[in-house]
Structure 1
Amino acid sequence: MRSLSAARAEAVEAEFMLRSLTGSPAADRELLGLAARRIGGGVVLSASRDPIGFLSRALAFTEPVTGELVDQVLAFFRTEDTRAATLQIAPGSLPADWAEICRARGIESHGRGLIKLGAPIERVAASARSGPRVTPVSEADAARWAAVLVEAFEFPREGYPGLMAAPVGLAGFHPYALWDGDTIVGGANLFVDGDVASFNTGAVLPAYRNRGGQTALLAARAAKARELGCRWVVAETGVPVEGTSNPSLNNMLRAGLETWYVRPQFRWAETRGSKPSVRNAFDA
């Protein structure tokens, strides 16, 4: 039975986002218009020049979610000239008057939501029966590793490579590379906050999928989390489209993680002009 609180699971995800973005190169932060603030006990990230609308978001509030709190968040986005953003609030934290709060501020339900998964560390497989080679990412390989993730996620090639490479060498981050011979073909990140490990940013190039790469990346991160004394593992991935499956979800379930809850996503956008497109969050 789950005993790690939803608030703690959300906070680890938010801390991963905050530290990785603020730890990225200054030139890339400037290019994307990155800014961050803690509001209501949560993390609010703004990227006014992000061409795909992926980075601007607010999540992990510990204070009650009220209209006043939402107004503070939206005021920050407006101050940063961010026109649209995603609000990610765990279902147990949504107030009874959430629908009214949304109507008054032009906030709409968006996308299929995200599945929050987790498990005690002892339930997560820390070895793969067989599969491709996985190693920690060295400083020398950081740029190559980041370029592969940018390609696998189909992210923009300006600004994003620096963001993706930022975790290499940062305290609390343990990035891993998936290899085919001497070529990096995938990667993933482990972020550790206290006794909780976050599996995130996992992707494999299309030509190398369905070969056990994601399973190997999960096993490597689980082994490291156990070595570091973590008690819990958490992760997020998208809800599958009806009638389809999500390979990332399937791999994590096979590795021993369990579905804890589905977190709805909400989208706020200014009415002026057209709404920018938005990408979903990282699959693990």
Structure 2
Amino acid sequence: MTTSVPLGLAEQTEIKAYTDFTASAPPPLRKSLGIDSLRVGSALALAIREDPSHFFNRAGGFAEDEPVTADLLTQVCDFYREQGVPQGALMITPSLLPPDWTSVVGKLNLSQGGRFVKLGCDVETALAATEEAAALAPELRVGLVEADQAHEFATVMMPTFGFTSPGLTDLAASCVGKPDWQQYAVWEGKRMIAVGSIFVNGECADMFGGATLAEARGLGAQSALLAARVRAAQAAGCRWIVAETGAEDPGDHNTSLHNMVRAGFEPLYERTTWLWRG
């Protein structure tokens, strides 16, 4: 079954999730991390000066009705430069790259980074697929993360992705309970072993930050979290769900990608990350 997720809505939902996750943090935390964002036409650019990984320095949400030009992207690169970050990413849907893209790459001194698969589906398709998902191991349970569990949630999510800075952990904790967000976790007894969030952007929801502790993988935690978040998207009135994960090279196996396909998500396209370096 093909998905009808509008391309522009899918990209806007992704970048809005990242900017809301970071830019709406408490003011003292935004100041200490050096968080800022910029709107350039339909696109949003985000920068976190004190992020050693540079992962959150990204721009996305480029629209079909707004040409992606060197001038537009220069504004984004200038923003990164002004924020004092050494690297920023441009997340542009392949179909929106202009005919003179090779020239733009040379002019802005861009290089290719990692590749991501953009996935999407309608909520009804995901509901039907997750009903057939493998059951969670009997010693585990899935549920909503409460405010007093925010720090534990963050200490599972961020280090699992390699983000070990205390400031970034505080950033994730500050997101718990925010409007348009819901956070879910899987517990083994009283210990939280896996987490995942949902961000609601009108009729579209983004599956954000699914992470499982290394020693707890293979127990069905992420499939259970996908199912819980699909039900949350339905309850929020969403029509579509989107997600993104790393693309596979020959011989690779991305468990997250295969979990989402089993949950009804359809790969929409692969998107190369274009990197600007100061």
CA distance in 1 between partners of 2:107 and 2:236 (Å)? 46
Partner of 2:28: 27
Partner of 2:51: 50
- Give the counterpart letter for 2:52 in structure 1: P
Aligned pair 1:170/2:178, yes or no?
yes
Is the Cα contact below 8 Å between 2:62 and 2:92 reproduced in 1?
yes
Aligned-residue offset at 1:261: 0.6
Is the Cα contact below 8 Å between 2:4 and 2:121 reproduced in 1?
no
Is the Cα contact below 8 Å between 2:182 and 2:197 reproduced in 1?
yes
Partner of 1:277: none
Is the Cα contact below 8 Å between 1:23 and 1:166 reproduced in 2?
no
Residue among 123, 126, 130 paired with 2:125: 123
Once the two structures are superposed, the pairs formed by residues 205-216 of structure 1 within 5 Å of their partners are: 205-216=213-224
CA distance in 1 between partners of 2:47 and 2:17 (Å)? 15
Aligned-residue offset at 1:2: 2.9
| TM-score (normalised: structure 1) | 0.91
- Give the counterpart letter for 2:168 in structure 1: Y
Partner of 1:108: 111
Aligned-residue offset at 1:249: 0.2
Partner of 2:201: 193
What value does the CA root-mean-square deviation take over the aligned residues? 1.3
Aligned pair 1:252/2:260, yes or no?
yes
Residue among 184, 187, 192 paired with 1:179: 187
CA distance in 2 between partners of 1:87 and 1:47 (Å)? 15
Q: Summarize deviations over 1:131-155 as a string: whole Å, max 9, x none.
A: 1311111001011111111222121
Aligned-residue offset at 1:48: 2.1
Aligned-residue offset at 1:53: 1.1
Aligned-residue offset at 1:251: 0.3
Once the two structures are superposed, the pairs formed by residues 61-80 of structure 1 within 5 Å of their partners are: 61-62=62-63, 63-80=66-83
Partner of 1:84: 87
> Sequence identity, in percent?
36
Aligned-residue offset at 1:59: 0.8
Aligned-residue offset at 1:126: 4.2
Partner of 2:274: 266
Partner of 1:18: 19
CA distance in 2 between partners of 1:237 and 1:23 (Å)? 24
Aligned-residue offset at 1:225: 1.1
CA distance in 1 between partners of 2:250 and 2:19 (Å)? 32
Question: More displaced, 41-50 or 85-94?
Answer: 41-50
Aligned-residue offset at 1:18: 1.0
CA distance in 2 between partners of 1:126 and 1:140 (Å)? 29
Partner of 2:246: 238
Partner of 2:161: 153
CA distance in 1 between partners of 2:184 and 2:93 (Å)? 29
**Secondary structure, counterpart of 2:166 in structure 1:** coil
Partner of 1:95: 98
- Give the counterpart letter for 2:203 in structure 1: D
Aligned-residue offset at 1:166: 2.6
Question: More displaced, 25-34 or 92-101?
Answer: 25-34
- Give the counterpart letter for 1:158 in structure 2: P
Is the Cα contact below 8 Å between 2:3 and 2:266 reproduced in 1?
no
Is the Cα contact below 8 Å between 2:145 and 2:185 reproduced in 1?
yes
CA distance in 2 between partners of 1:81 and 1:140 (Å)? 35
